[in-house]
Amino acid sequence: MPRTGTGPGGARAMRSRAAGAGAASADSAGTRPATAGSGEPFGSFADAVLAVVADIPSGYVATYGDVAAILGTRGARAVGRVMALSGGTVPWWRVIRAGGHPPSGHGAEARAHYEREGTPLIAVESQDGYRVDLAACRWRG
């Protein structure tokens, strides 16, 4: 059953903080800016993106647009940018392109994760040779 991110540090809490995207937030002691995993300050939007991605359950996926919609924005490309810069800190393979294809350039590595998690795949003629069956495993938060 998919998690909803209702805990204090879950995606729902981060979504409410995303309204102030662009402004750097501070840690609990108020001494340093929030980071998005790479040590660089990104502000609350990146933190919210990473929190949503962290909440996607094993065996499920969301598109870049789905993650943006959960956060109340149409910024799928902004989600992609956050994932490109700091997605290694979360299960990055669970965020895919709208057509069900894995992140560009990571098809082989992503496939190993999908097979381990039991994510349904469909064989197609493409660079990667497969796509994720979005109808069967799309997570909408």
What digits encode the pLDDT tens for the residues 104-122? 999 999 999 999 999 999 9
Q: Residue 1 domain-assigned?
A: no
Global model pTM greater than 0.85? no
Q: Residue 29 domain-assigned?
A: yes
Q: Residue 125 domain-assigned?
A: yes
> Which domain covers residue 79, as residue numbers?
11-137
Q: Residue 105 domain-assigned?
A: yes
For position 16, which CATH number holds?
A: 1.10.10.10
Q: For residues 34 and 27, give the distance between their C-alpha atoms in angstroms, rounded to a whole number.
A: 6
Q: Residue 3 domain-assigned?
A: no
Q: For residues 127 and 5, give the distance between their C-alpha atoms in angstroms, rounded to a whole number.
A: 34
For residue 87, what pLDDT is reported?
A: 82
The answer on pLDDT for 21 being more than 70 is no
Q: Residue 6 domain-assigned?
A: no
What integer is the mean pLDDT of 128-137? 97
Cβ partners under 8 Å of residue 8, min gap 6: none
Q: Residue 111 domain-assigned?
A: yes
Report the number of distinct structural domains present in the chain. 1
Angle at 41 between CA 47 and CA 70, to 5 degrees: 20
